[in-house]
Chains A and B, each alone.
Chain A
Amino acid sequence: MLEALGLECVRGQRRLFRGITFGLAAGQMLWVLGPNGSGKTTLLRLLCGLLRPESGHVRWKGEDVRGSPDSLHADLLYLGHAPAVKDDLSSRENLCFGLAQTGIGVTPREADAVLGEFGLAGREMVPIRALSQGQKRRAALSRLALGAAKALWILDEPFTALDAQAVQLVQAHLARQLSRGGCVVFTSHHEVELAGHAVTRLQLAQ
């Protein structure tokens, strides 16, 4: 479903990587590894079509993501480096609005059920500003629980600032996404174990 062909990226004077080629079929997961500054976030942004590669192509379902991005945008759930969470809004509002702009409509009740699952029960209406860093990450990641309609998840460091229980929860959602035939691309410094699902590794060099 997702193909990268000979991706090369140059930022300023530096070449971050070249010749990145991989294919991801339905139900497969790609783990992008590398030291800090090796271009993991940049690679994810290239895959989304937010950046233009120096050379090479990214294709989603056979269509180039820069040339005709519509089919990618219809299928994409992207959680970037900045989590797109508004400090002045509550976690319920963040979840509803965050999903609405990707074209998924949820009712406040559905949102509250998911926030409860992510350990934010009773805090649905508290502004994010008043929550801890980990709770803020949980609020951002709760989008995954309602992202079943999206076939491709691209997640930048989903496990940062999470406690062990939340890591388990996110991994369970990743496993569910793979089981229903979705694709996942993510970066992480954590070891990720999903029972019954193979994880393809992509190592970026310094």
Chain B
Amino acid sequence: MTALGLAPVFAAVIRRDLTLALRRRSDVLTTFFFFVIVVSLFPLGVGTQSSMLRSIAPGVVWVAALLASMLALVRLFASDFDDGTLEQLALSPQPLVLLVVAKVFAHWLVSGLPLVLVAPLLGLQFDLPAGALGIMMLTLLVGTPCLSLIGAIGAALTLGVRGAGGLLALLVLPLYVPVLIFGAGAVSAAVAGMPVSGHLSVLGACLLIALVLGPWASAAAVRIAIE
């Protein structure tokens, strides 16, 4: 037996959540294939005119990423809330805020990162140039953690509420708007051959704000939920 400091406890929470995700693979795959299918439906429905496909691609990919992230959010705290794990985390010697960060990070690894990795492949269906594919990956890499952090607030606020899924969407989707605007904006700019650094900077700022305020608000909401 040894006493654990913050880093091992943080790592243990991540490892536990990843192990659980691995045991319940269907949940993870649902989010992933939802994203793939929604994005793939657009070229089939809109037609083969490549200039149009190129112009709608950023919006389509980003909106699909938003919806896929929503789909995964419901599970973030719900099972921990039901089986008492959330109480244990709240009573941990380590700060709840940081344990929430660990949970959100593990959640992003299984629900956000796969979207980032598959996005370039999906972008090919929209005839995006290689440069724009790179920018799309980059915006998703910065933007999807943002979505997880903001979404965690909603997931914590709707704990123990009946019909949490619908309420969660109403709470969280408006907060996703800045991420959507600047994420999709950066890709559109890249497609048009314009500089993207402005959009990326704002997206980075969004991530920093979400990183500072999100876990703190989520932890407060978790405390209220278990009271």
A residues lining the B interface (CB < 8 Å): 48-52, 70, 73-74, 76, 78, 80-89, 93, 96-98, 100-106, 110, 127, 146, 148-149
Contacts and interface: CB of A to CB of B under 8 A. Distances in A.
Given A52-B227, A86-B20, A89-B20, A73 B92 contact: yes
Contacts of B213: none
Given A89-B20, A103-B92, A84 B3 contact: no
Interface string B4-18: 100011001101100
Nearest to A97: B16
Contacts of A101: 9, 12-13, 85, 88-89, 92, 99
Given A50-B226, A97-B15, 4 more contacts: A73-B91, A86-B85, A104-B1, A105-B8
Contacts of A51: 227
B88 A102 contact: yes
Interface string B40-57: 000000000000000000
Interface string B63-98: 000000000000000010011110111111110000
Contacts of B99: 101
B30 interface: no
A102 B227 contact: no
A50 B4 CA distance: 23
B19 interface: yes
B115 to A, nearest CB: 24
B19 A93 contact: yes
A105 B1 CA distance: 5
Contacts of B3: 103-105, 149
Contacts of A100: 4, 8-9, 12-13, 16
Contacts of A146: 1
